[in-house]
Amino acid sequence: MFLSHAYTDRELVLGLALMIEDLGYSVYIDWRDDPHLDRSKVTPETAAKLKARMKVSRCLLYSTTSNASDSKWMPWELGFKDGDNTRAAILPVVQYSTTTYQGQEYLGVYPYVDAGNDRTGKRRLWVCRSSTCYVDFDSWLEGSEPAERG
């Protein structure tokens, strides 16, 4: 998966990536996996490399923090991946946990990712529209959408 994030959140993002990798997924982080890229400027070379990485990633997770709005790349990455295969979701990074994520502006059209245990107690990722509308992450990667649960 491609983890879209603000570079100023790199320590937090690395922790998120390690948690996701512990669940068995591969995570691409530009500065970790392609350290030669210049993230401070928007260039055709950097855009081409990021496009190539997004093309081979099964999904994009958009890490929302207070720094996300300062990123030059995040909105572009989200739009590109959404147009490529629609497997884009918000990874809310909030100070306090709530039962649901409330996206702001255009982010609200995307589902959000949450971590939690399944019925057997196994830690998993879930793709959610609300606390009662969700699907397991692997099924979402295969094309399933969140469904209301009673």
What is the rounded average pLDDT of the residues 4-16?
A: 95
Q: What is the DSSP string of 18-64?
A: HHHHHTT---B-HHHH-TT--TTS--HHHHHHHHHHHHHSS-EEEEE
Q: What pLDDT score was predicted for residue 94?
A: 65
Is residue 106 included in any domain, yes or no?
no
The reply to whether 67 and 127 lie within a common domain is: no
**18-75 residue pLDDT tens:** 999 999 999 999 999 999 988 778 889 999 999 999 999 999 999 999 899 889 899 9
| Domain encompassing residue 75 | 1-95
The reply to whether 72 and 115 lie within a common domain is: no
The whole-model pTM stands at 0.90
The reply to whether 115 and 85 lie within a common domain is: no
Domain count, the chain: 2
Asked if residue 135 lies in contact with residue 111, where contact means CB atoms within 8 angstroms, the answer is no
Is residue 43 included in any domain, yes or no?
yes
Classify residue 150 as exposed, middle or buried by CB count within 10 Å of its CB (0-12, 13-18, 19+).
exposed
